[in-house]
Structure 1
């Protein structure tokens, strides 16, 4: 009798899934490279002369701001984890996990991102189920998006320029804000099925999310000050939430290219020269790369050994 390879269809299905993943990865690379290439063509290379040696101090300050923002996000994560399952979570260890996640977000293409690494590490360190770990990160991401939406709506109330150019009137702002509040109430209803959370806890999570998300706004403003650009923090509060929300759309590698493109377009609405806007967006990304490299150092120095040493029994 002829041998029948029972694993044939399974192997073919696996090859098909791998092929799709590789195709999507290739498409994301193409989108990122294309967008970055387009932005480079818009860059007036004579403007690079504006970059002097003192830019190092601005990069250093921006890196500190980003590290502080990660601190707020870590406190938020610890708060959410404690609501899901009370344990003696180490803020330092969770901060390390966030740094490692930033490295994977920046440097590792494909399906394994920073959130996936944080899920793995926190599950291993604290004996949490995958469901509980996933819930903590999911709540973080949802809270982050809501915080960005509220920052955007607040800024639009005082921002005539972007309101008029985007045709975003007060009525639409009120309706959008009311819609977000309603969505929060609905989200609370579903989340309560998995964990005990009230409006006080939700307010704390949103506050920490807003403080964490404000990091990129301040960093963009720091670089705008370096180039002496006529743009305020309030203006950037209207731009950066749109930048972050755009990067959530999975059409590029970690939002590379999309982030810089939306940021450049947003700053152009305020009359900022495209070349200057591109430089600010590139410097912001450079700051993220530096923090990612810091995460790589933590990853190499700690890894599994540190996790096993600080594992806390349930």
Structure 2
């Protein structure tokens, strides 16, 4: 309980710091006048990323001998995504998936944990790789030209390191390494496209590479278990990074808040599916359904 209270306080504090230093009137105006057609594009690509994510996770499940139907796995994934909104660092849904699969399918928790954990790690490697690729042509390169060689090193070393760690610690996932690495890139790329649609909805056509680079960097920040569902962490990252580059903070905060709203709306599919099953009295679907 104490841990949860601390994380709630950090979330509120982070958002309060950002909103206190933001032009609320302009932020509200930006969001209220956002182009709805571009927002629909953002919702579409966000959910494409989540569907591909569910497919990737199912490959890891198959590698440990857990065979789930695509539909069952997708519903479980969206339900986990809903729980991620309310628990720190976006890991609550992962814990729920491990619990349900251990209870219903007879595998050890450590094997299921390995699949869920390595699914997360493969996503982080893709996130780091694409972040580096977007930093290279961004304004950060102009400000810190000497440091760009290290960004190139990071980009070049990301997947060799990922391959090495997979071989050392999770060798059972080696047969699916290439396809899951590709899917990880697709997941992060479609989220970047979703963010781009939000920028277009906000009529932010200048410095888009900078906003998208910070978007990916802020996604790394949301992984840290400091705030509830990553809320506040992304906004703080946008606020300080955009201030550092001398860019419009309001656009970045609006992008962050709208992206969170899209995530929240999309995750309702998971909880609505569960409520429907509970009200109808039907059992949860079997893995083969």
Kindly indicate whether residue 98 of structure 2 is the aligned counterpart of residue 119 of structure 1.
Answer: yes
How many pairs align? 286
Cα distance in 2 for partners of 1:233, 1:274 equals 13
CA contact (8 A) 1:143 1:209 kept: yes
- Residue by residue over 1:148-187, the C-alpha shift from the partner in whole angstroms, topping out at 9 and shown as x without a partner, is 111122223333x112335563421233234424422331
Kindly indicate whether residue 255 of structure 2 is the aligned counterpart of residue 280 of structure 1.
Answer: yes
Q: What RMSD over aligned residues (CA atoms) do the two structures have, in Å? A: 2.8
Residues 100-109 or 162-171, more deviating: 162-171
Structure 2: where are the runs of 5+ without partners? none
Determine the structure 1 residue equivalent to 2:114: 135
Determine the structure 2 residue equivalent to 1:296: 271
**Aligned ranges for residues 189-268 of structure 1 at < 5 Å?**
189-193=167-171, 195=172, 197-198=174-175, 201-231=176-206, 234-268=209-243
Determine the structure 2 residue equivalent to 1:162: 140
Shift of 1:266: 3.5
Distance change (3 Å), C-alpha of 1:233 and 1:121: farther
Q: TM-score if structure 1 supplies the norm length?
A: 0.80
Shift of 1:59: 3.7
SS at match of 1:228: coil
Work out which of the residue numbers 272, 280, 286 in structure 2 matches 1:310.
286
Determine the structure 2 residue equivalent to 1:174: 152
Shift of 1:277: 1.9
- Residue by residue over 1:255-294, the C-alpha shift from the partner in whole angstroms, topping out at 9 and shown as x without a partner, is 1101111133344455431122222211111111112222
Determine the structure 1 residue equivalent to 2:72: 93
The higher radius of gyration belongs to: 1
Q: TM-score if structure 2 supplies the norm length?
A: 0.86
**Aligned ranges for residues 34-113 of structure 1 at < 5 Å?**
34-47=13-26, 48-52=28-32, 55-85=35-65, 87=67, 89-108=68-87, 113=92
- Residue by residue over 1:132-158, the C-alpha shift from the partner in whole angstroms, topping out at 9 and shown as x without a partner, is 211111111110010011112222333
Work out which of the residue numbers 108, 121, 126 in structure 2 matches 1:147.
126
